[in-house]
Amino acid sequence: MRRVPPFFKGRVVSVDNKGARKPRADSLRNREQLLAAAKAAFADAGADVALEEIARRAGLGIGTFYRHFPTRDALLAAVYQREVEQLTTSADRLLAERPPLEAFEAWLHLLVDYLATKRVVAPALQAASAEGARLYAASGAPVTDALNRLGQKLLASGAVRPGVQPEDLTRIIMGLSQGYDRPDWPPSARRLIAILIAGLRPAGT
C-alpha cells in the first residue's frame, strides 16, 4: 500500500522515562479519573473550565489534582497526549480483535472522539507554551501511521469492494473531518461513518 498522505502532519517524539519510579496503582487510577473528567469537562464547558470542577467530577480533592497536574497547561498536554495515544495504539488492538473492515469502522469512531477533543484542547495547548505547540505538532505522524496499518490490512483482506485505492481511504478521512471544529459535528460524523462503511462493502454483502 502506498503511504497515505500525511493528513495529520507531524513527527514522532519519544520521551525517555528510564530510571523513573513507577507510580502506585491508586495514583495511576486517580490520574486516569482526572484525565477522563477533564476530557468531559472540556467538552461541556471549554478549555477554561474551573479546575475545581474537574476535580469534583473525578471525585477527588483539588490537592490531589495539583499533585498530578501543577498547572492547567500540564493538564491540557496530558489530556491531548492521552487522546493521541489511545487513538494510535487502538489500531493494532482492533485489528487483533476484529475483521479489518469492522476494525476500520471502530477506529473511525475513535477518530471522531479524538477530533472532538482536539477541537477544544488544541487551540489552548498551542497558545499555552512552546512545549504545548511542539506536542501538538508531533501528534500527526503516529496517527498517520495507525491509519496506514489499518488501510494495509483492510485492502489486503478483500473485505472491500474491488477498485478501492489507498488514496480513497485518505479522502474518507478528509471528508469525515470536514467541519470538525463545529460543536454539532460528532453526531453527523458518526452517521457518515455508517454510510461510508456500507459503501466500502462488496456488492451483495
Supply the pLDDT for residue 135. Answer: 85
What local confidence, expressed as pLDDT, does residue 14 receive? 41
**pLDDT single digits (tens) 139-190:** 889 999 999 999 999 999 999 999 999 999 989 898 999 988 888 899 999 9
pLDDT for the residue numbered 153: 95
Look up the CATH number of the domain holding residue 104. Answer: 1.10.357.10
Residue at 86 is within a domain: yes
pLDDT for 161 equals 93
Is a pLDDT exceeding 70 seen at residue 118?
yes
Residue 56 is given by DSSP the state H
Q: Which of 31, 6, 8, 5 is nearest to 118 (CA)?
A: 8
In a domain, 168, yes or no: yes
Same domain, 120 and 190: yes
pLDDT of residue 23: 65
3-state DSSP percent of the chain in helix, strand and coil, to 5: 70, 0, 30
Q: pLDDT tens digit string along 39-81?
A: 999 999 999 999 999 999 999 999 999 999 999 999 999 999 9
State how many domains the chain has: 2
Which pLDDT score is estimated for 111? Answer: 95
Query: Which whole number is the average pLDDT over 91-117?
Result: 96
The pLDDT score that the predictor gives to residue 140 is 86
Q: Write down the pLDDT at residue 138.
A: 85
Examine the fold and report which residue of 14, 37, 70 is the final residue of a domain before the chain moves on.
70
pLDDT 10s digits, 66-77:
999 999 999 999
Total residues found in the chain within this entry = 205
Is the pTM above the cut of 0.85?
no
CA distances in angstroms from 20 to 15, 81, 111, 147, listed in the order given: 11, 19, 31, 32
Asked whether residue 169 is domain-assigned, the answer is yes
**Domain coverage including residue 65:** 24-70
Over residues 4-33, the pLDDT tens digits come to 333 344 443 444 445 555 568 899 999 999
Distance (Å, rounded) from C-alpha 93 to C-alpha 172?
22
